[in-house]
């Protein structure tokens, strides 16, 4: 019989229930031992839908008491540094959702804790990064000179052309996207910078300009996610993202983190990739990109 890796999950929000937990449930070599969240409704839902055996509302208790070998840290960015260090010091392997940290000092602390403990750490997402076969293929083309001498490269996101997640701010997630320690949208959007350096090589210079343009925004109240979970019966159809954008944004929250950024990255001599991102359509503020 194949041995199963005993897992714990902290953070039973949308990322967990839409992506990770359904995959864990269908993996033959993984066992969901414990889940942890501040909201009992969410851990109970994970017990019902995904078969979690132990429920916690305190992360430190889960790490200290649960019989787990690895932990998936799927919480808001402000918790990543202390949670990752706690896991490493307890000898647990860890998967850490983006961002690793919201400053270099925090990232270094995590790296040092992981190396000292001798555990393994994976920083997600892996799609579109150096681990992606497509990125590796493109990087190889650049190294071999197949594309010639690249003198200029630009990557910029325009506004959305249809209704969907890209329209305006995220519809939910105050702690994940809008509080000061979340780092804001920029830390939720590492794909383009990661692809640039993954394909073209390490940065030689970075210049950035950021701003907080919208002081307040409207989001869907947190409790609507709990209501959504109550109605889910199929664990493979638990993606709140598919429902949240049709719900009323009735809660006004203060935007404490930057919501507009322009980033210039210098790599390979004369190459100056450009990455620009802002909220292109913000309801009530008549803003456009």
Residues 139 and 263 in one domain: yes
What is the predicted pLDDT for the residue at 199?
Answer: 84
Q: Are 39 and 221 in contact (CB under 8 A)?
A: no
Alpha-carbon gap, residue 210 to 2, rounded angstroms: 50
What is the predicted pLDDT for the residue at 282?
Answer: 39
Answer whether residue 249 is part of any domain: no
pTM of the entire predicted model? 0.82
Residue 201 sits in a domain whose CATH number is 3.30.360.10
Residues 165 and 81 in one domain: no
Alpha-carbon gap, residue 115 to 121, rounded angstroms: 9
Answer whether residue 250 is part of any domain: no
What is the predicted pLDDT for the residue at 274?
Answer: 46
Number of domains, the chain: 2
Q: Which of 73, 100, 123 marks a domain boundary?
A: 123
Answer whether residue 260 is part of any domain: yes
What is the predicted pLDDT for the residue at 57?
Answer: 97
Residues 102 and 137 in one domain: no
DSSP code at position 16: I
Answer whether residue 63 is part of any domain: yes
Alpha-carbon gap, residue 268 to 229, rounded angstroms: 48
Show the CA angle centred on residue 223, arms to residues 222 and 227, nearest 5°. 130
What is the predicted pLDDT for the residue at 185?
Answer: 75
Show the CA angle centred on residue 55, arms to residues 49 and 58, nearest 5°. 135
Backbone angles phi, psi at 35, to 5 degrees: -130, 155
Answer whether residue 243 is part of any domain: no
What is the predicted pLDDT for the residue at 17?
Answer: 95
Q: Are 281 and 288 in contact (CB under 8 A)?
A: yes
Residues 114 and 155 in one domain: no
H helices within 191-286, ranges in order?
191-200, 223-230, 241-244
What is the predicted pLDDT for the residue at 280?
Answer: 38
Residues 62 and 168 in one domain: no
Residue 17 sits in a domain whose CATH number is 3.40.50.720
What is the predicted pLDDT for the residue at 175?
Answer: 85
Alpha-carbon gap, residue 186 to 277, rounded angstroms: 8
What is the predicted pLDDT for the residue at 289?
Answer: 28
Name the burial class of residue 222, with classes exposed (0-12), middle (13-18) and buried (19+) by CB atoms within 10 angstroms of its CB.
middle
Answer whether residue 151 is part of any domain: yes
Radius of gyration of the chain (CA): 20
Q: Are 253 and 133 in contact (CB under 8 A)?
A: no
Q: Are 220 and 250 in contact (CB under 8 A)?
A: yes
Residues 148 and 274 in one domain: yes
Alpha-carbon gap, residue 195 to 64, rounded angstroms: 37
Residues 116 and 186 in one domain: no
What is the predicted pLDDT for the residue at 164?
Answer: 56
Residues 142 and 263 in one domain: yes
Residues 271 and 145 in one domain: yes
What is the predicted pLDDT for the residue at 228?
Answer: 95
Q: Which of 123, 146, 164 marks a domain boundary?
A: 123
Residues 39 and 118 in one domain: yes
Q: In sequence order, what are the residues at sequence separation of 6 or more whose Cβ sits closer than 8 angstroms to the Cβ of residue 231?
A: none
pLDDT tens digit string along 200-240?
877 777 777 778 888 888 999 999 999 999 999 999 999 99
Answer whether residue 244 is part of any domain: no
Answer whether residue 239 is part of any domain: no
Q: Which of 123, 145, 160 marks a domain boundary?
A: 123
Where in the sequence is the domain holding 177, given as residue range(s)?
Answer: 133-215+255-278
Q: Copy the structure tokens of residue 3.
A: 């041995």
Q: Are 219 and 172 in contact (CB under 8 A)?
A: yes
Residues 119 and 163 in one domain: no
Residues 107 and 146 in one domain: no
Q: Which residues of the chain, if any, have pLDDT below 70?
A: 126-128, 131, 154-169, 263-289
């Amino acid at each position: 019989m194949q041995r199963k890796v005993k897992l714990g999950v902290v953070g039973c929000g949308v990322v967990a229930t839409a992506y990770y937990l359904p995959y864990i449930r269908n993996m033959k070599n993984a066992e969901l031992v414990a889940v942890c969240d501040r909201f009992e409704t969410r851990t109970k839902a994970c017990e019902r839908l995904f078969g979690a055996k132990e429920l916690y509302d305190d992360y430190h208790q889960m790490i200290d008491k649960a019989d787990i070998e690895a932990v998936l840290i799927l919480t808001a960015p402000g918790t990543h540094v202390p949670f990752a260090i706690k896991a490493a010091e307890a000898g647990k392997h860890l998967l850490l959702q983006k961002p690793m940290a919201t400053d270099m000092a925090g990232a270094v602390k995590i790296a040092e804790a992981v190396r000292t403990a001798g555990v393994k750490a994976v920083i997600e997402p892996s799609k579109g990064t150096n681990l992606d076969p497509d990125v590796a293929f493109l990087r190889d083309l650049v190294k071999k000179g197949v594309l010639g001498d690249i003198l200029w490269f630009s990557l910029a996101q325009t506004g959305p052309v249809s209704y969907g997640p890209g329209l305006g701010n995220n519809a939910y997630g105050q702690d994940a996207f809008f509080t000061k320690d979340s780092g804001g949208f920029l830390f939720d959007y590492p794909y383009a910078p990661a692809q640039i350096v993954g394909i073209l090589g390490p940065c030689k210079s970075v210049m950035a300009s950021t701003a907080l343009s919208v002081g307040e925004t409207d989001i869907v109240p947190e409790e609507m996610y709990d209501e959504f979970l109550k109605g889910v019966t199929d664990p493979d159809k638990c993606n709140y993202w598919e429902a949240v954008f049709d719900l009323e944004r009735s809660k006004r929250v203060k935007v404490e983190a930057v919501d507009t950024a322009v980033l210039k990255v210098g790599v390979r001599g004369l190459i100056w990739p450009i990455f620009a991102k802002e909220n292109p359509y913000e309801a009530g503020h008549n803003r456009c990109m």
